[in-house]
Amino acid sequence: MISIGIVGYGNLAKGVECAIRQNPDMCLKAVFTRRDPASVKILTPDVPVCPLQDAQNWQGKIDVMILCGGSATDLPAMTPEFAKSFHVIDSFDTHANIPAHFAAVDTAAKESGHIALISLGWDPGLFSVNRLYASAILPQGKDYTFWGKGVSQGHSDAVRRIPGVVDCRQYTIPVADAMDRVRRGENPQLTTREKHTRYCYVVAEDGADKAAIENAIKTMPNYFADYDTTVEFITMEQMRAEHSGLPHGGSVIRSGSTGWNGENNQTIEYKLTLDSNPQFTASVLVACVRAAMRMYSRGITGCQTIFDIAPADLSLMSKEELLKTML
């Protein structure tokens, strides 16, 4: 049995808790929180919720810490710090800062002789590994990543900061025609606007200037200005009834050519359709716990990514079973 600790208890952490329950070779030992532990009620019976600063006392009792903090401020400090005492898993997803995060975690994990797996989930994560497979197999080709239909938490938060806005749910929607062109192997050049549209459901304060809110959203640089955005005002009741979930998904498509003169088109598509983005991300993290322990048992320490995981290490099945039933 692999003993797991969870750091944090937001949506991702709750997903991790649920995923551990689906894997018979793992068990949850404790949840660590910055909040008052008495105020945090978890789902698993008889598992303690502990103050974050007590985590060090669990050395020897917990094999792997799954760090469920945010990428902006939590994980850059937390992952290297925890890697001094435990094997660690995170979902660090600020693409541009991955090399720096990798370096910091690698130093800490190598010094302490632990293994750390970072930037797991679906993007970065499964989408990344599919980009890698596809580009290695079709060297003459072009990659496209489409996201959605799904809720972007960052964009929803940005709208919530506009004066007069009570709540917002922002959906990122891939442009069907653009995806079809890519799938047909046309290898089109697509602008940001041509790939995705954005749809905002907004609850406004009573008496708020809705035209001003709509304009503030549509002209917001980085978040909305480069997209065709639709704003729809709804009531709080509608928001609760129709937009309480966190669905997401998307497709990584590579279209390439083979043959002596590149005469044949070949298309690889990897597509996710997720009712719950945080629970799916959590399921990837938990499967990678098993891989981390197997890699560590073969003497591997330091920082690793999904690119370094041999797929067999993710599975509960033995190599013999895999050959018989999966290959």
| 135 counts as binding a second copy under rule CB under 8 A | yes
Tell me how far apart the alpha carbons of residues 163 and 245 are, in angstroms, rounded to a whole number.
Answer: 25
Closest CA to 1 of 32, 23, 30: 23
Kindly tell me which residue out of 147, 268, 292, 301 binds a second copy, with binding defined by CB under 8 A: 268
- 217 versus 306: smaller Cβ distance to a second copy: 306
E strands of the chain, at which residues?
2-7, 26-33, 49-51, 64-67, 87-90, 115-117, 141-147, 150-151, 165-174, 196-204, 228-233, 248-258, 264-274, 302-304
- List strands edge to edge, sheet with 150-151: 150-151, 165-174, 196-204, 228-233
In the complex, the smallest distance separating the C-beta of residue 46 from a second copy, rounded to whole angstroms, is 15
Kindly tell me which residue out of 48, 161, 271, 318 binds a second copy, with binding defined by CB under 8 A: 271
Stretch that binds a second copy, among 208-216, 218-226, 233-241, 300-308 (CB under 8 A): 300-308
Whether the link from the prior residue into 99 is cis, omega within 30° of 0, is no
Which residues, 6+ apart, have CB-to-CB distance to 268 below 8 Å? 130, 133, 134, 137, 138, 253, 254, 255, 256
In the complex, the smallest distance separating the C-beta of residue 265 from a second copy, rounded to whole angstroms, is 5
- 165 versus 278: smaller Cβ distance to a second copy: 278
Binding mask 88-127 for a second copy (x = CB under 8 A): -------x--xx--x----------------x----x-x-
8-state DSSP, 10:
S
In the complex, the smallest distance separating the C-beta of residue 136 from a second copy, rounded to whole angstroms, is 4
The residue type found at 262 is G
Binding mask 6-45 for a second copy (x = CB under 8 A): ---------x-xxx-xxx-------------------x--
- Please report, as ranges, the residues that interact with a second copy according to CB under 8 A: 15, 17-19, 21-23, 43, 95, 98-99, 102, 119, 124, 126, 128-133, 135-140, 183, 245, 258-260, 264-276, 279-280, 282-284, 287, 290, 305-312, 314-316, 319-320, 322-324, 326-327
